[in-house]
Amino acid sequence: QVQLQESGPGLVKPSQTLSLTCTVSGGSITTNYYYWTWIRQPPGKGLEWIGYIASSGYTNYSPSLKSRTSISRDTSKNQFTLQLISVTPEDTAVYYCARVRPSDYGLGPGFGSWGRGTQVTVSS
C-alpha cells in the first residue's frame, strides 16, 4: 500500500520560499496514471488544491497560485517537492501531499492516498 510523508521546515519568514518534500513508499511516482498532488488547508478554511505533477512529469497548478508555485520530482529518490515563493502569512496552512487518480482530483481526502500533513507557519 502506498504511503506518503511530508517533510520540511515548520516556520518560514515572509518573502522567503516554502519548500516541502513528499517521500513516497510502496509505489513508484512514475506508475501510470496518477496525479502526485499538493493540497493545503489554512486555519479555519477549506482545502485548497495547489497543483500536481503527473506520472508522466506533466505539471498543473491552481490559477491563483500558479505564478508562485513549482512542483518537481526526483525519481531516483521517489520524491516530489513543492516550492512556493514570496510567501506571506496567508500561506500559513497544513500542507498535504497525496496520490490521486485524475478522476478524483479535487474531491477530498476520501479519495486517493494522503500523507498526514505538515503545519507550515509564515511569520517573522
With vertex at residue 53, the alpha carbon angle to CA 48 and CA 54, rounded to the nearest 5 degrees, is: 120
Q: How confident is the model at residue 108 (pLDDT cuts 50, 70, 90)?
A: confident
The mean pLDDT value of the chain amounts to 96
Q: How confident is the model at residue 32 (pLDDT cuts 50, 70, 90)?
A: confident
Q: How confident is the model at residue 109 (pLDDT cuts 50, 70, 90)?
A: confident
Q: How confident is the model at residue 110 (pLDDT cuts 50, 70, 90)?
A: confident
